Amino acid sequence: MFASFDEFVEDRSTSMLRTAFLLTGDRGHAEDLLQTALVRTLRHWAKARAAPEAYVRQVLVNLSKDRLRARGRRPAETTMPPDVVGLATVDAGYDRVADRRVVSDALAALPLRQRQVVVLRFVEDLSVEQTAELLHCSAGTVKSHTARALARLRELLAPDFHESQIEKETTDVRR
Amino acid sequence: MSADEEFGRLVGDRLRDEVADIRAERDLAGAVRRRQSRRAWTIRTSIGAPLVAAAAVVVATAGPGATSDQQRQPQAAPPVTTTTQARVENLAHVQSMTIQALRSAEEYIIYKKEELSSGYLEYWTDRATVRYRMDAYSTFVQPDQQERPSGQVRAPRGPDDVETGPLHRTHSIAGDGPLGDVRYTQVDYERKTWSTHHDTEPPPVLEVPDVLDPDALKKAIDEGRMELIGPERVGDEDTHHLRLFATVRGYQIDLWVDATSYLPVRETTTVIGGSPEPVMTSEYDWLPRNEENLAKLVLTPPPDFTKE
């Protein structure tokens, strides 16, 4: 158990931000989503402290759905910081990663519920039952969403994975 | 471990790898405490709608040469001129006629063909009886699921390991009932199985508006997310080319409606800032509700298939 809210955030925030990014497909929204989830967790820290990560995960899942509904009705909730140069020092590796976000781009093209089951099942390593509980649906529904999501990812990733395989083979031959 | 499970784990590993360099800011806990005190969320939510409505007016008055960047910078829009006024009226006419045409969708069987890189999907929808059917065709060959003598299952190592073959029908789904109360029949032609399922989940949140839903289209118009590109030929048909933007993600939807009936003929979805090629292209055909076309909605599993 974490001694304090700050210790929990210090230890787990990067992992939770990555989950939020995969759920939303957008870095800015992921940061905003995580902050909102943490604000709620902080408000209920006495209750959440026993399993704060599970609490945040539940809020992230709920908010990612609400956020997608609401984005059409209001402008983005965070504005760009005035010193965008400062971002590079915070996360210098992000631009490099953005160039090769093949799978996460494909993930972002999935409907929300399919994206959620892929992230929860295969990134968060939750069981079908745990995922079903988190999404408030049946295990059968999780399975069907998972099957559809993976089928679609196969479609979307086939060309890129094929190209990367050729590139890898070419590089290997040159070596 | 099933082939799906193994592929899912591969996807999970690659996703973790792709986001490995994303790190939270150092003083996140402090930022959260500050944010809690400001309660910015509530304030911004309350002012959001009027701002969007104001932006919509400006987008509607943008000229024909407006680019996506210009649409996102309302201050860059040209001043309203007589030409622009005429264009807005024309846009309003096409939008109105399209919505009116879509409200008559119950008079047709709507046929839609969606092209994929490895095959295509065919849909038949009958709004009058709230039924639909989808047939999927693919060149992908289902991995061999049969157990080998050793007890192991042959599974692909990843998407690049997917076998391909001749184009063939992989599965069909027929749905009956409104969203939230749909009874499905699914036939898997590769595994020679079929199953039924009752889906009581509430309607999903659509990231891309359903262009066949007049209410969704009207909402996009009301929010200023739709514009008229102009008259275009699609195959042998004269059409009006409309463009709308999804509410929730950077998608651009291009819709071509027949110049006479105002019913959709073609739809493409493109990711803004991504590849210029559409991620999805759909062709529409509006069929009469005769016996032959209604029969398309009936899905009967072949007698030698096994029920799961």
What are the pLDDT digits (tens) for A78-101? Answer: 333 333 333 333 343 444 444 467
Selecting from A93, A112, A161 the residue whose C-beta is nearest the C-beta of B158 gives: A161
CATH number, domain of B201, equals: 2.50.20.10
* A69 interfaces chain B, CB cutoff of 8 Å: yes
Selecting from B25, B48, B279 the residue whose C-beta is nearest the C-beta of A73 gives: B48
Contact B15 A77 (CB under 8 A): no
Residue B271, pLDDT > 80, answer no
Q: Which domain covers residue B238, as residue numbers? A: 82-308
Whether B8 maps to a domain, the answer reads no
Mean pLDDT of B87-91: 58
pLDDT of residue B71: 33
Whether B1 maps to a domain, the answer reads no
Give the span between the Cα atoms of B195 and B302, in whole angstroms: 12
| Min distance B11 CA to chain A CA atoms (Å) | 7
Q: Which of A34, A113, A157, A166 is most worth mutating to test chain B (most B CB atoms within 10 A of its CB)?
A: A157
Give the confidence band of B59 by pLDDT, cuts at 50, 70, 90. very low
Whether B20 maps to a domain, the answer reads no
pLDDT of residue B50: 28
- Contact status, residue A36 vs residue A28, Cβ threshold 8 Å: no
- Contact status, residue B218 vs residue B224, Cβ threshold 8 Å: no
Residues of A in contact with B15 (CB under 8 A): 22, 103-104, 107, 118-119, 122-123
Q: Comparing B42-51, B71-80, B81-90, B104-113, which segment has the lowest mean pLDDT?
A: B42-51
Residue B145, pLDDT > 50, answer no
Whether B231 maps to a domain, the answer reads yes
Selecting from A16, A96, A112 the residue whose C-beta is nearest the C-beta of B205 gives: A112
Give the span between the Cα atoms of B200 and B162, in whole angstroms: 33
* A45 interfaces chain B, CB cutoff of 8 Å: no
pLDDT of residue B208: 64
Domain co-membership, B175 together with B115 = yes
- Those residues whose C-beta lies under 8 Å from the C-beta of residue B33, and which sit 6 or more positions away, are A42
More confident residue, B61 or B235: B235
- Contact status, residue A166 vs residue A159, Cβ threshold 8 Å: no
Contact B274 A105 (CB under 8 A): yes
Please report the DSSP string for chain B in residue order. --HHHHHHHHHHHHHHHHTTT----TTHHHHHHHHHHHTHHHHHHHHHHHHHHHHHHHHHT--TT--HHHHT-GGGSPPP-HHHHHHHHHHHHHHHHHHHHHTTGGGEEEEEEEEETTEEEEEEEETTTTEEEEEEEEEEPPP--SBPTTS-B---SSGGG--EEEEEEEEEEEEES-TTSEEEEEEETTTTEEEEEEE-PPPPPPSS--TT-HHHHHHHHHTT-EEEEEEEEETTEEEEEEEEE-SSSSEEEEEEEETTT--EEEEEEEETTS-SS-SEEEEEEEEE--HHHHHTT-----TTSEE-
Per-residue pLDDT of chain A (175 residues; tens, 9 = 90+): 677 888 889 889 999 999 999 998 888 888 888 988 888 888 777 777 778 888 899 888 888 765 544 443 333 333 333 333 333 333 434 444 444 678 988 998 898 899 999 999 999 999 999 999 888 889 999 999 999 999 999 988 886 665 555 554 455 444 4
- Those residues whose C-beta lies under 8 Å from the C-beta of residue B71, and which sit 6 or more positions away, are B59, B62, B227
Count of structural domains within chain B: 2
Ordered by start, the domain boundaries in chain A are 1-92, 100-175
Residues of A in contact with B24 (CB under 8 A): 9, 13-14, 16-17, 31, 34
Whether B65 maps to a domain, the answer reads yes
Give the span between the Cα atoms of A24 and A163, in whole angstroms: 26
* A17 interfaces chain B, CB cutoff of 8 Å: yes
- Structure tokens, B141: 């060959």
What are the pLDDT digits (tens) for B165-207? Answer: 788 898 888 888 887 788 888 888 887 888 888 877 676 556 5
Q: In what order do the strands lie in the sheet containing B280-288? A: B226-234, B237-245, B251-258, B264-271, B280-288, B108-116, B119-126, B131-140, B164-176, B182-188, B193-199, B306-307
By C-alpha distance, the chain A residue nearest B36 is A39
Domain co-membership, B152 together with B265 = yes
Burial of B260 (0-12, 13-18, 19+ CB in 10 A): exposed
Whether B87 maps to a domain, the answer reads yes
Domain co-membership, B191 together with B172 = yes
- Contact status, residue B19 vs residue A18, Cβ threshold 8 Å: yes
What are the pLDDT digits (tens) for B219-234? Answer: 877 777 788 888 999 9
Q: Which of A16, A32, A33, A38 is most worth mutating to test chain B (most B CB atoms within 10 A of its CB)?
A: A38
For the whole model, what pTM was predicted? 0.46
Contact A9 B158 (CB under 8 A): no
A100-175 to CATH, choices 3.40.640.10, 3.40.50.1110, 1.10.760.10, 1.10.10.10 = 1.10.10.10
- Structure tokens, B117: 């890189």
pLDDT of residue A149: 94
Which A positions 142-171 lie with beta carbon below 8 A of chain B?
Answer: 144, 146-147, 150, 153-159, 161-162, 164-165
Whether B145 maps to a domain, the answer reads yes
Whether B9 maps to a domain, the answer reads no
Contact B205 A18 (CB under 8 A): no
| Min distance A175 CA to chain B CA atoms (Å) | 22
Query: Taking the CA atoms of chain A, what radius of gyration do you get in angstroms?
Result: 18
pLDDT of residue B46: 26
* A21 interfaces chain B, CB cutoff of 8 Å: yes
Q: Comparing B98-102, B107-111, B274-278, B300-304, which segment has the lowest mean pLDDT?
A: B274-278
